[in-house]
Amino acid sequence: MNGAAPTGFETWLAARADGEVGAGLDWLEVQRRNALQQVRDQGVPGTKQEAWRYTSVKRLLEQGFARVEDAVTALQIDDIEELLIPDLDSHRVVMVNGRYTPSLSLLGDLPKGVRVTGLRALLASDPDALRERLNGVAGESQPLFAALNTAGLDDGLVILMDRGAILERPIELIHLSVGMDEPRVAQPRHVVSLADGAQATLIERYVSLGESLYCTNSMLELSLGRDAVLKHDRIQVESPNAFHITGLYLSQDAGSRYVGVNIGLGAAWARTDLVTRFSGEHAECDLQGLYLAGDRQLMDYHIDVDHAVPACSSRETFKGILYGKGRAVFDGRVVVAKDAQKTDAAMSNKNLMLSENAEVDTKPQLEINADDVKCSHGTTVGQIEPEKLFYLRSRGISAPLARRMLCLGFAEEIIDALYSDALREAVSEEVGRRLETAPLT
């Protein structure tokens, strides 16, 4: 990369020994340069910026993350066995430290009209397939971490589905982070494009081996054509020392349906931006989330839903369990344009605080510029109700188990929305495991 980003993020974009992917593609060079300029222009986000009011990037910058270099090739399938969910029958894609790793992936047979490949590979073999799609949803002007991702573009998962194509089995992306000698940042970039009427399920799992320190700045661009359906589960269970950033950009055409469940359990510092824009009427977007924030953990969610056209519906349902000195932010914004009559939007954020030292900032906002709409929002911040706890204990159930049961009961609604029983069980178990060691003061 010529000219460093003078912002503290320059190490994220350090030049690679083997050059940049897609070098020589003019359109890509332009996008990269443009993104780099935006990184420079934006500088380090401060708490004066609305999007960063509650969250400081200081801790992130202090780690001095350097860009991942070589692909990790030494891993065998046995090494990742414990990370697989046995009863989950999927087309499996494994990425390690941001790189597509075919030797660990198991794509199997894909139906006609479905392409699943690595971004790097596709830029080499058929770059035109990406030309309109890269930055096609996120747009040219991007917030800092998206711009960083674009400027440092390297690899990712690409799913392209033709008109009417239907995937029966889910595509499972396992993004594995492996600690290196020094703290590294990977910036996977995923592109999912469903043409009219296509239907798919995508399960993303961010996992790690051990308790290593690393950063993942992932970015997704999803576009749904008319009447397309995407079920999208994202499960983040990472090292307690990890830093995780997600920027998800979604565009929905008429009649399309998106159902996304975001489970955030891991990482020391996690920031998620979910940005949705409707471009056709009668589309539905259902965003659900469950987050756990314990000691020294930050879970920061920003949701932006743009009802630019009439008659679409959106649901944002997020629940959080906080314990120890955990911190969470829920900043949800739904904007209904002047012409977007018959919009139906409901946003809710509920938090269960297990300790007095935990803290949540929750700020749901509706900006309604149309008059014939149905919109609501609500938040709660509460504790475990003593009557419930007593009821369970009076039946012989120990206080810690009773608390765990009530927390899982609180989370159930979200876990229930996951793709399959196997996934639900895996997540419930992990939530239970984390709460078992949770300090309750």
Partner 1 sequence: MLSVKGLRANVGENEILKGLDLEVGPGEIHAIMGPNGSGKSTFSHVLSGREGYEVTAGSVTFEGRNLLELEPEERAHLGVFLAFQYPVELPGVNNTYFLKAALNSIRKARGESELDAVSFLRLIKEKLKILHLDDSLLKRAVNAGFSGGEKKRNEIFQMALLEPKLAILDETDSGLDIDALRVVADGVNALRSPERSMIVVTHYQRLLDYIEPDRVHVLAKGRIIRSGGKELALELEEKGYGWVLEQGQAA
Q: Are 192 and 229 in contact (CB under 8 A)?
A: no
Whose Cβ is closer to partner 1: residue 237's or residue 411's? 411
390 binds partner 1 per the rule CB under 8 A:
yes
Among 48, 78, 386, 437, binds partner 1 (CB under 8 A): 386
CA 128, CA 126: separation in Å to the nearest integer?
5
Beta strands in 108-255 (DSSP E): 114-118, 157-161, 171-178, 184-186, 189-194, 199-209, 214-224, 229-237, 243-252
φ, ψ at 150 (rounded to 5°): -65, -45
396 binds partner 1 per the rule CB under 8 A:
yes
Residue 46 has which token pair? 């401060």
Among 2, 73, 76, 394, binds partner 1 (CB under 8 A): 394
CA 381, CA 350: separation in Å to the nearest integer?
6
411 binds partner 1 per the rule CB under 8 A:
yes
387 binds partner 1 per the rule CB under 8 A:
yes
CA 324, CA 327: separation in Å to the nearest integer?
9
Tally Cβ neighbours within 10 Å of residue 330: 27
Nearest CA-CA partner of 297 in 341, 236, 233? 236
Least CB distance to partner 1 at residue 359 (A): 24
Residue 441 has which token pair? 């003061």
- Map residues 334-373 to x or -, x wherever contact with partner 1 holds by CB under 8 A: ----------------------------------------
Whose Cβ is closer to partner 1: residue 86's or residue 386's? 386
406 binds partner 1 per the rule CB under 8 A:
yes
Nearest CA-CA partner of 98 in 71, 127, 79, 130? 71
Only segment of 110-118, 196-204, 323-331, 381-389 that touches partner 1 (CB under 8 A): 381-389
CA 230, CA 287: separation in Å to the nearest integer?
12
Q: Are 55 and 329 in contact (CB under 8 A)?
A: yes
CA 324, CA 24: separation in Å to the nearest integer?
51
44 binds partner 1 per the rule CB under 8 A:
no
Whose Cβ is closer to partner 1: residue 25's or residue 408's? 408
Only segment of 56-64, 274-282, 373-381, 396-404 that touches partner 1 (CB under 8 A): 396-404
Whose Cβ is closer to partner 1: residue 344's or residue 430's? 430
Whose Cβ is closer to partner 1: residue 120's or residue 403's? 403
379 pairs with which residues across the strands? 349
410 binds partner 1 per the rule CB under 8 A:
yes
Whose Cβ is closer to partner 1: residue 210's or residue 386's? 386
Among 412, 420, 422, 425, binds partner 1 (CB under 8 A): 412
- Per-position b or e across 65-91, b if 16+ CB within 10 A of its CB: bbbbeebbeebeeeebeeebbeebebb
Q: Are 194 and 164 in contact (CB under 8 A)?
A: no
391 binds partner 1 per the rule CB under 8 A:
yes
At 179, the amino acid letter reads G
Q: Are 189 and 153 in contact (CB under 8 A)?
A: yes
Whose Cβ is closer to partner 1: residue 30's or residue 399's? 399
Whose Cβ is closer to partner 1: residue 59's or residue 390's? 390
Q: Are 404 and 367 in contact (CB under 8 A)?
A: no
Only segment of 67-75, 85-93, 195-203, 403-411 that touches partner 1 (CB under 8 A): 403-411
133 binds partner 1 per the rule CB under 8 A:
no
# chain residues binding partner 1, by CB under 8 A: 23
Among 71, 392, 420, 424, binds partner 1 (CB under 8 A): 392
Whose Cβ is closer to partner 1: residue 6's or residue 409's? 409
Only segment of 11-19, 342-350, 389-397, 429-437 that touches partner 1 (CB under 8 A): 389-397
CA 344, CA 336: separation in Å to the nearest integer?
10
397 binds partner 1 per the rule CB under 8 A:
yes
189 pairs with which residues across the strands? 219
388 binds partner 1 per the rule CB under 8 A:
yes
Among 53, 393, 430, 432, binds partner 1 (CB under 8 A): 393
Least CB distance to partner 1 at residue 347 (A): 20
398 binds partner 1 per the rule CB under 8 A:
yes
Q: Are 298 and 270 in contact (CB under 8 A)?
A: yes
Q: How far apart are the first and last CA of the chain?
A: 48
Whose Cβ is closer to partner 1: residue 70's or residue 413's? 413
Alpha helices in 339-420 (DSSP H): 386-393, 399-415
Only segment of 253-261, 288-296, 305-313, 401-409 that touches partner 1 (CB under 8 A): 401-409
Binding residues for partner 1, per CB under 8 A? 386-388, 390-399, 401-402, 405-406, 408-413
